[in-house]
Amino acid sequence: MTYQEFEKNINLGSLKNRDLETYLLALLKLVEDEREQILTAELLLKPLQDAYTSKPKKFNVEWLKIKDEPDENTFMNSKTNSSTDKTGVADIGEFYYTIAVLKFQIAELHKMKGKQLDDEWKYYGIDSETGNRWYNFDPSSILDCGMRCFMDGNKNGDQEFKVSWRTLGDLLEMGRIYE
């Protein structure tokens, strides 16, 4: 699948009624269920699309302790990034990075409810109470902007879109901060 094909299929435009926190909770549950999969572009599309309607994971108040966005280098260079873990998952550091991104973003959104998220101008950018910058606050915009960032970095949209578990974490983080 090419970058352009992935971008075309990433979003189910008619299903924009789910708030981003609920979407990310559903995505977290789906990703955890797919842990043993070696990710392809086609397999990545499925949880991104299914998270619009699937049951979300229960929010964990422990996530409120998360203050900083995950540093991908910590996960990629850690001992958890052996080539496989005990379940046979390749690139386990990349998987845990994506899980950390999901928990970070869920916690941030939860903390901003009734505060920054009520700002009518939030799409011009707001800072969370932990000082992290946000520009996108719904599933459609975070996925669209994250993919635009990938596309801007790859001028040839006809090139194969090679993905790993890190791709999902990067997509969400770029979507959060990309205007």
Element at 110 (helix H, strand E): helix 92-112
Vertex 147 angle, CA 113 and 77, to 5°:
85
Angstrom distance (rounded) from CA 82 to CA 92:
7
Angstrom distance (rounded) from CA 113 to CA 101:
19
Amino acid letter, residue 6:
F
Asked if residue 131 has pLDDT above 90, the reply is yes
Angstrom distance (rounded) from CA 149 to CA 3:
11
Average pLDDT over the chain, rounded to an integer? 87
Residue 54's CB is within 10 A of a number of other CB atoms, namely 17
What's the Cα-to-Cα distance from 37 to each of 12, 84, 87, 115, 172, rounded to whole Å? 23, 12, 10, 38, 19
Q: How does residue 104 score in pLDDT terms, banded at 50, 70 and 90?
A: very high
Task: Specify the pLDDT at position 13.
Answer: 59
Residue range 75-88: average pLDDT? Answer: 53
**Structure tokens, 83:** 């080539």
Task: Specify the pLDDT at position 10.
Answer: 82
Q: Which domain holds residue 33?
A: 3-177
Residue range 5-30: average pLDDT? Answer: 85
- Say which residue, 146 or 85, is predicted with more confidence: 146
Residue range 116-122: average pLDDT? Answer: 94
What's the Cα-to-Cα distance from 62 to each of 111, 122, 173, 177, rounded to whole Å? 12, 26, 21, 24
Q: How does residue 87 score in pLDDT terms, banded at 50, 70 and 90?
A: very low
Q: How does residue 36 score in pLDDT terms, banded at 50, 70 and 90?
A: confident
Count of the separate structural domains present in the chain:
1
Is 127 exposed, middle or buried, given 0-12, 13-18 or 19+ CB atoms closer than 10 A?
Answer: exposed
Residue range 24-42: average pLDDT? Answer: 92
